[in-house]
Chain A
Amino acid sequence: MFSLKRKTMGEATFDIVNNMIMLCICFITLYPIWYVLVNAFNNGSDAMSGGIYWWPRVFSLENFKAVFVTPGIMQAMWITVAKTVVGTAAHVFFTAMVAYALSRKNLIGGKLYILMGTVTLFFSGGLIPTFLLMRDLHLLENFLVYIIPFMFSFFDLIIFMTFFRDIPEGLEEAARIDGANDWSIFLRIVLPVSMPVLATIALFHGVFQWNDYFTGMIYINNPDLQPIQTYLYRVVAQSSSNQMMVAVQGSSVTKSVTSQSIKLATMVVTTLPIVFVYPFLQRYFVKGMMIGSIKG
């Protein structure tokens, strides 16, 4: 589209400088992560002296071995996987279901329901009233605290509704003539044709579930129920790395592993699944962000 005019000197300089700036941004984005990665793959006690910038000096997989044999870490990983899978499935299904009902124009009371939801976008009870509610619902020290309070989001509901309203009515009419009720229309027609928006919301919520440490921190004290992010928080922020070493000493890991190097390896293991998944879902979340911003 720029072919109307030949590239001038100025244009060419601009392109070169611009590309260089973009390369710099990529470097600044990637290098901090790379630094952690090479240190995690380096012998732990050797890494203590520092100076590992580009490539592991003494390559070692011991740190990762230590991560996988430490019972606390594996348990926390398992909790994270379970809460992400169950939590995301529950969130997407439940929110989509309510959104489908509210997107029907003939729904009696629909306006009232939508008003009720809109209010929740602007007011919330805040930390303590929510905490007291969780206590009264016996959700403290309970795995379900990761699932039920996050099953529904009115903001996501708006995104779903926008999408559902665009589904051609003919699809539903045909099913209705065949005797399908609203429930089976939702399950058999609406959900299957809404995969892009389901994927978008699933990605957003999945990332939230995977990365959330706060829920585990305030509602859960039982180490067997904490997710990996909460575990890491307790190790990173409170620098109680000794705790980690105690856990490791029981296992058959060599002396080359330090608390710092296990921490790095845990961070890598915690992050890798997301890093591998997001590029493939990119087209979905770009679209989702657009719907969200238009409606938002």
Chain B
Amino acid sequence: MQKNSNTGSGPALSPQAAARIETGVGNRNSLWKRLLAQKHLQTMALLGVVWMIIFNYIPMYGVIIAFKEYNIVKSIAEAPWVGLTHFREFLDDENLGNVIKNTLGISLIKLFIGFPLPIIFALFLNEVRSVRFKKSIQTISYLPHFLSWVVLGGILATWLADVGIINNILLALNVIDQPISYLAEPSYFWTIVISSDIWKELGWSAIIYLAAISGVSPEMYEAATIDGAGRFQKMWYVTLPAIKSTISILFILSVSGVLNSNFDQILVLRNSLNDSASNVIDYYVYYTGILSGRFSYSTAVGLLKSVIALILLLIANNVSRKINDTSLF
């Protein structure tokens, strides 16, 4: 990207750039001729641009219905402006507290338990001596990532059913007297969501860390060994610092994502009985918008969420830059 001083900047060309576009067309100073010379390239690029305008930018324009009273009969442009009405309505909504509690509760626990576990897994997997054993564990640990949430929802429903294995074991051990319908009880919902998420993504999330660890030179470990470092000391003083910047980047992304629930997962595991623990922002947007047809209101809630998420990303990015010199941008 450093040498493209000519892109989109009129006829002023650096010598290298001029040499680059030499495609047999005579007059290099004419923008039109240059465009014509790269008509194939431009066609390819513009197809992508048109796609982005339709599928990214038109919906971005559509966000203005958050400030309008949109209904199906009129077009977006015709709908009357209502200012911040929908935002105020959301802030006064009786579901607000619960929705925020569930969204942040699930995300923060996922962040504090689910974020460090893949790092720990990667650190210990790296200490496995047999290369073949290590590879096999890795392959097995990726497997759950490739299951869909629908299938995993089916697996969980089977496990947690009244005659499922969990109830059978607990009954056999006399921990409980009668089967519990776990998915119908709000009090179990967070545990189910968080543990199934960890089960599914532990191995997959570790890939990046393992890749970063594999870049550490063996001499570092040898030097540490000569200095008398034990396994834990090597992990702490050699391996961990080597993956520090990877951890920071992923942490920034996770923090900015706290308002995102894993919607695929929530939708599969929620039901009307556990609603008080499973109603997260993403589901609320889906419910009010698609199921209840309150298009403007739902868009307003979604927009509020994206704005806060963006602010969180910027804050996390800046904090990380100050603390350990790593940032996304």
**Complex contact B231–A14 (CB within 8 A):** yes
Q: Interface of chain B, helix or strand or loop or mixed?
A: helix
**Complex contact A25–B267 (CB within 8 A):** no
**Complex contact B225–A2 (CB within 8 A):** yes
**Complex contact B199–A186 (CB within 8 A):** no
Residues of B within 8 A of A100 (CB): 44
Residues of B within 8 A of A293 (CB): 208, 211, 246, 249-250
Check: A61 CB closer than 8 A to any chain B CB: no
Are A263 and B154 also in contact (CB < 8 A) when A102-B48, A124-B59, A126-B285 are?
A: yes
Interface-forming stretch among A66-74, A192-200, A228-236, A242-250?
A228-236
Chain B 1-36: CB-based contact to A (< 8 A → 1; otherwise 0): 101101110000000010011010000000100110
Whole-angstrom distance between the alpha carbons of A176 and B24 in the complex?
Answer: 11
Instruction: Assign chain A's interface to a size class.
Output: 35 or more
**Complex contact B290–A29 (CB within 8 A):** no
Residues of A within 8 A of B65 (CB): 128-129, 132
**Complex contact A53–B165 (CB within 8 A):** yes
Residues of B within 8 A of A133 (CB): 54-55, 58-59, 62
Chain B residue at smallest Cβ distance from A8? B230
**Complex contact A110–B4 (CB within 8 A):** yes
Question: In the complex, which residues 33-52 of chain B have their Cβ closer than 8 Å to any Cβ of chain A?
Answer: 34-35, 38, 40-42, 44-45, 47-49, 51-52
Please tell me which one of the listed residues A4, A48, A117, A229 contacts residue B226 in the complex, with CB atoms under 8 A apart: A4
Are A126 and B45 also in contact (CB < 8 A) when A4-B226, A26-B137, A48-B163 are?
A: no
Are A18 and B154 also in contact (CB < 8 A) when A105-B3, A110-B7, A282-B142 are?
A: no
Please tell me which one of the listed residues B31, B58, B148, B168 contacts residue A213 in the complex, with CB atoms under 8 A apart: B148
**Complex contact A35–B158 (CB within 8 A):** yes
**Complex contact A271–B4 (CB within 8 A):** no
Whole-angstrom distance between the alpha carbons of A108 and B40 in the complex?
Answer: 12
Whole-angstrom distance between the alpha carbons of A212 and B263 in the complex?
Answer: 12
Residues of A within 8 A of B141 (CB): 25-26, 29
Check: B97 CB closer than 8 A to any chain A CB: no
Task: Report how many residues on chain B are interfacial, defined by Cβ distance under 8 Å.
Answer: 103
Q: How close is A94's CB to chain B, nearest CB, in angstroms?
A: 7
Chain A residue at smallest Cβ distance from B209? A293
Are A112 and B8 also in contact (CB < 8 A) when A5-B225, A126-B59 are?
A: yes
The listed residue with most B CB atoms (<10 A of its CB), out of A110, A186, A275, is: A110
Given A22-B137, A106-B20, A126-B285, 10 other A-B contacts at CB below 8 A? A25-B141, A98-B47, A107-B7, A108-B7, A126-B303, A132-B59, A137-B54, A152-B51, A236-B154, A293-B211
Write the residues of chain B forming the contact surface with A, with a CB cutoff of 8 angstroms: 1, 3-4, 6-8, 17, 20-21, 23, 31, 34-35, 38, 40-42, 44-45, 47-49, 51-52, 54-63, 65, 76, 121, 124-125, 127-129, 133, 136-137, 139-144, 146-151, 153-155, 157-159, 163-165, 168, 199, 202-203, 207-208, 211, 218, 221-222, 225-226, 230-231, 246, 249-250, 253, 263-264, 267-271, 285-286, 289-290, 295, 298-299, 302-303, 306, 310, 313
What 6 pairs across the A-B complex have the smallest Cβ distances? A125-B59, A129-B62, A98-B48, A211-B148, A101-B44, A101-B45
7 CB-based A-B contacts, threshold 8 Å = A15-B129, A32-B199, A48-B163, A106-B4, A108-B34, A113-B48, A127-B285
